[in-house]
Structure 1
Amino acid sequence: MHVFFSRRTLLVSGLLLWSQPLLAATDPNWQIIRQRGFIRVGVDPMVGPPYFFRSDGRNVGFEFEILEAIAQKLQIRLEFVETPWPEQIEALVAQKVDLIFNGHEKPTRTPACQGTLPYYISSQWLLIGANKRPPKSFFGLAGWRVGVVIDSGGWALMRAFNAQRGNTVHLAGFQNLADLLAQLEKGKLDAVVLDTPIAVWQARQHPNSFRLAFKPLLSVPLVGLVRLQDNSLKDQLDDAIAQLWKSGQIQRILKRWSLWNDLQRQP
């Protein structure tokens, strides 16, 4: 759904007046940010490619490019506040940052914050060894050794799959991505299930070691997060994101990072 700013027409003493945008009256947050001249964005470069990371001393990543496009639409500067990913929501609630834009899903259990329109539809994708023959279907994973990062989307997907199929997949959980990929590369795992951006990045960066199998599964919208009371900021961000979808700019950014697929749709 497109988000546009509306103006109410008021008839006062026979005069036709245009009010200020409704969002400006809801809370002062956006006006404060505008007067300050920049928006503080909580990010964690350690989340890594291709989301938001540093390369040759500069910020890069598809989330970084989308943030830059949003800032250009809003005519405001970005100030990045490096915040460890597990601490980002706490930093947002404590008003240390104005926005989190770092691979977060729409909040369902955190009443203190709210999500913007989606800027990317993430998913889970199966990554296998470059010389491994993929099974004919996802159900062909029976008997395979499949690795996942604990508490990730892939972890949830494969545990649900095993619950329905009688634990036919030999599931191995890992605390970090590096160990997971090392085991796949050594052939000690048959496959791993990763967030699509990470799976695509690894397949592109290491074509002699990994390749993708099947199509993405379990779509999940990624959103920016703001405080629950910051409706004026959310409205501005939503409007900018909607414009970027409509103009095709988000599509161009995602294609540049090989992340455009059939799951992407304009909100």
Structure 2
Amino acid sequence: MKKWVALFVAVLIIGTIFSGTLAEIKERGKLIIGTEPTFPPFEYVNEKNEIVGFDIDIAQKIADELGVELEIVNLPFDSLIPALMSDKIDLIVAGMTITEERAKVIDFSIPYFNANQAIVVRGNEGFMPATLEDLKGKRVAVQLGTTGDLVVSDIKEIMVTRFQKFTDAFLELQNKRVDAVVLDEAVANAYVKTFPKFVVSAIIDTGEKYGIGVKKGNTELLEFVNTVVSNLFKSPYDLLVEKWFEETK
């Protein structure tokens, strides 16, 4: 029995080691990425029920360079890292901030986007917080596991309500069950443009950098992703920024 158990464990380990390698991705003919598409303009569902956005274009470029199809898996944001670690996806491409805690369990590509946080409130009530400290004693909605969640959770006097999706956080704000939503600046601008009843009251300089998540130790895939991202910076990247972010200004 012990021998069979040992063999089973060995098979699992081998499967883990080789899962998601460049050779396996090319053999299966598709690159599988995980994302959470309520994060425009990075990833969202358009009127044709397609997942599109800045991040998706980058993922498509990686798939094209590999010569494979792109498969997108829609997951809750806080499920993305577990999915990557358990080989359900090859990459996380989801506007994910590079943090020390996350980097302990997954690897990140070189940064591809600089970001800050924003405070969004209802625009007709006179409450215009300029800092996170101004949210003390207030009810604030965030998306579970995001940087917005982390920064408001550091302030004990803030009453934090967490949701799987940003859309649910904004629904709470619309229904006056929370006083503000804290989320990434580019996404905040996109939502405010779509729903003029909301306004961005302040930008919080958090100095974040987004990276593409790769399973820990998958050096070959990480190096390939870094090469693609580096090459994007040389010209096409500027076109992607113009395509997805000019309209949110």
User: Is the TM-score greater than 0.5?
Assistant: yes
The alpha-carbon deviation at position 133 of structure 1 amounts to: 5.0
Q: Kindly indicate whether residue 50 of structure 2 is the aligned counterpart of residue 50 of structure 1.
A: no
Paired with 1:133 and 1:40, the residues of 2 have a C-alpha distance of 45
Q: Secondary structure at the match of 1:122?
A: strand
Q: What are the residue-to-residue correspondences of 1:140-179 with 2, within 5 Å?
A: 141=134, 145=138, 147-149=140-142, 152-160=146-154, 162=155, 167=157, 171-176=158-163, 177-178=166-167
The alpha-carbon deviation at position 140 of structure 1 amounts to: 8.0
Which ranges of 4 or more aligned residues in structure 1 deviate by more than 4 Å? 132-137, 186-190
Q: Secondary structure at the match of 1:246?
A: coil
The answer to whether the Cα contact below 8 Å between 1:30 and 1:232 also exists between their aligned partners in 2 is yes
The answer to whether the Cα contact below 8 Å between 2:129 and 2:201 also exists between their aligned partners in 1 is no
The alpha-carbon deviation at position 102 of structure 1 amounts to: 1.9
Cα deviation code 1:115-174 (max 9, x no counterpart): 1112222321011223355759438837773513265423432354x46xxx5xxx3321
The alpha-carbon deviation at position 39 of structure 1 amounts to: 1.5
Cα deviation code 1:16-38 (max 9, x no counterpart): xxxxxxxxxxx892233234432
Q: Which residue in the other structure is 2:116 paired with?
A: 123
Cα deviation code 1:158-211 (max 9, x no counterpart): 354x46xxx5xxx3321324554345335565533222233122101012x012
Could you state the TM-score of these two structures normalised by the residue count of structure 2?
A: 0.73
Q: Secondary structure at the match of 1:103?
A: coil
Work out which of the residue numbers 230, 233, 248 in structure 2 matches 1:242. Answer: 230
Paired with 1:105 and 1:133, the residues of 2 have a C-alpha distance of 31
The answer to whether the Cα contact below 8 Å between 2:32 and 2:89 also exists between their aligned partners in 1 is yes
Q: Which residue in the other structure is 1:21 paired with?
A: none
- Let me know the Cα RMSD of the aligned residues: 3.3
Q: What are the residue-to-residue correspondences of 1:54-93 with 2, within 5 Å?
A: 54-55=45-46, 56-93=48-85
Q: Kindly indicate whether residue 24 of structure 2 is the aligned counterpart of residue 32 of structure 1.
A: yes
Identity among equivalent positions (%) equals 22
The answer to whether the Cα contact below 8 Å between 2:141 and 2:182 also exists between their aligned partners in 1 is yes
Paired with 1:245 and 1:84, the residues of 2 have a C-alpha distance of 29
Task: Give the partner amino acid of 1:96.
Answer: K
Structure having the higher Rg:
1
Q: Kindly indicate whether residue 220 of structure 2 is the aligned counterpart of residue 232 of structure 1.
A: yes
Q: Kindly indicate whether residue 181 of structure 2 is the aligned counterpart of residue 195 of structure 1.
A: no
Q: Secondary structure at the match of 1:217?
A: strand
**Relative to total residues, which structure has the larger helix share, 1 or 2?**
2
* Distance change (3 Å), C-alpha of 1:131 and 1:29: same
* Distance change (3 Å), C-alpha of 1:70 and 1:220: same
* Distance change (3 Å), C-alpha of 1:181 and 1:38: closer
Report the more deviating stretch, 104-113 or 222-231: 104-113
The answer to whether the Cα contact below 8 Å between 1:144 and 1:190 also exists between their aligned partners in 2 is no
Work out which of the residue numbers 128, 138, 145 in structure 1 matches 2:131. Answer: 138
Task: Give the partner amino acid of 1:128.
Answer: V
The alpha-carbon deviation at position 254 of structure 1 amounts to: 3.0
The answer to whether the Cα contact below 8 Å between 1:118 and 1:221 also exists between their aligned partners in 2 is yes
Listed as ranges, the gaps of 5+ residues in structure 1 are 1-26, 262-267
Paired with 2:179 and 2:86, the residues of 1 have a C-alpha distance of 44
Q: Which residue in the other structure is 1:104 paired with?
A: 96
Q: Which residue in the other structure is 1:6 paired with?
A: none
